[in-house]
Structure 1
């Protein structure tokens, strides 16, 4: 396996030398949704027991709470439907609407078109860990809709193998992303 050379690693930021492969966001393959769905299906098929990182809700909500208390949540960067809300309001909703169960997989944690390179190579894996599959599904669906349209969201879910995703769980994990 080829690993790009590290150009800079400072203050928790890792910059790699150009891997020579564009992201899905910068080039439009025949179907960015299908490419992302197939790639995510393969990632989510990895054995959870082999992943040393924990992104379950207990951990993630504790991180979100710490970010709220420390004033680190950027409310100006909230999605349009949450603009005008406080970080405390969003966090309270996350606690109140927390799903009762998690469908655990090895999740990317920030699964968006810029983080998927042509050929199904993943980058920006700082939030990778065992988490509910909807953590990735929600972000992919949101960004594919915004960047490429609803047809690519449908292609994404078809390629992933989930033709009827749970809208409540998509909404919850999209809201969770507001904290980060």
Structure 2
């Protein structure tokens, strides 16, 4: 693939390996030289990806939990970028862990519990509340998005009724500092199967813990197949809550 010029400049003489491309066109590259670094790159005019906000959240969370260290970040008229130090671990969707989904699911559950128990809600300057996310749902509806753009589980729903459902969230179970994108790829796992770290914290903020849990367990189906969510809940130390799971998955789809 073509390497963006800013990534090539940041690499210098390091080996550049593309490792990820998200649905919005954001790219991640591994730079290997004396040390391992990662560069996230996104074209200008992609409001869904705010690398400056991610840098702020990483720096804040790093005071208490293991997340990538920010080396630098910046932006120009064409793009934005974020450079972080590597962590010696593999993504939970690395082929090693796709072959051992039970271990991966447990590591994700333990890692999420550690994050929720450790980050101080009262000191967090960021939020990821239902109220804060609903305007994005309305923007997407105004842009013409609807059931055809949602996950298969929700495509049978009526748009107006689904939006009405979002306006009646379940009571807060427990406020925590949520990851904000707790899908399986964003957990790093050590070679012994233990949780190592979290990445991609661009939406980190205070919310009900089920905002993370519902999506983390859902993502196991996307990456490993069905039947592994129970291991995640068990490792986290919680029983599934069908009402909150259904609500926060619909919110994820629409917002």
Q: TM-score, normalised by structure 2?
A: 0.60
Q: Secondary structure at the match of 1:124?
A: coil
Q: 1:3 aligns with which of 52, 69, 79?
A: 69
Q: Within 2, Cα distance between the matches of 1:152 and 1:23?
A: 17
Tell me if structure 2 keeps the 8 A contact 1:54–1:130: yes
Q: Is 2:174 aligned against 1:103?
A: yes
Q: Within 2, Cα distance between the matches of 1:72 and 1:5?
A: 39
Q: 2:216 aligns with which of 122, 137, 140?
A: 140
Query: After the TM superposition, which residues 47-62 of structure 1 pair with which residues of structure 2 at under 5 Å, given as runs?
Result: 47-62=120-135
Structure 1 residue 142: Cα displacement = 0.8
Query: After the TM superposition, which residues 1-180 of structure 1 pair with which residues of structure 2 at under 5 Å, given as runs?
Result: 3=69, 5-6=71-72, 9=75, 14-16=81-83, 19=86, 21-29=89-97, 30=100, 31-45=103-117, 46-69=119-142, 71=143, 73=145, 75-83=147-155, 85=157, 88-95=160-167, 97-119=168-190, 120-162=196-238, 164-180=239-255
Q: Secondary structure at the match of 2:90?
A: coil
Structure 1 residue 152: Cα displacement = 2.5
Structure 2: tracts of 5 or more residues without a match: 1-61, 63-67, 191-195
Residues 114-137 of structure 1: per-residue CA shift (max 9 Å, x gap):
111224321111111000101111
Q: Secondary structure at the match of 1:178?
A: helix
Q: Within 2, Cα distance between the matches of 1:64 and 1:12?
A: 25
Q: Which has the higher helix share?
A: 1
Asked which structure has the greater CA Rg, the reply is 2
| Compared CA separation, residues 123 and 82, structure 1 to 2 (3 A) | same
Structure 1 residue 140: Cα displacement = 1.0
Q: Within 2, Cα distance between the matches of 1:26 and 1:6?
A: 26
Tell me if structure 2 keeps the 8 A contact 1:87–1:179: no
Q: Secondary structure at the match of 1:147?
A: helix
Structure 1 residue 100: Cα displacement = 3.1
| Compared CA separation, residues 49 and 86, structure 1 to 2 (3 A) | same
Residues 20-58 of structure 1: per-residue CA shift (max 9 Å, x gap):
643111234451111001110011012201211111112
Q: Secondary structure at the match of 2:91?
A: coil
